[in-house]
Homo-oligomer: A and B are copies of this chain.
């Protein structure tokens, strides 16, 4: 069964899913053909968690992470 959920950064499975999915994207030719740096792997989730203008949604097929949206709000003063 496919299920879609707001990412909970304190949930280890979600945190691993975020890094895994982003690493898969970055490793693909479309994403730059290079794995994530250790710095990104180590800090991404905690840095996302600090920002209340970021919203991450995850998709799982049973226990397997299969999709993700990282949305970062744009804001204009007028």
Contacts and interface: CB of A to CB of B under 8 A. Distances in A.
A53 interface: yes
Interface string A44-78: 10011011111000000000000000101101011
A15 interface: no
A7 interface: no
A40 interface: yes
A65 to B, nearest CB: 15
A10 interface: no
A58 to B, nearest CB: 14
Given A40-B78, A51-B53, 4 more contacts: A40-B77, A44-B78, A51-B75, A53-B53
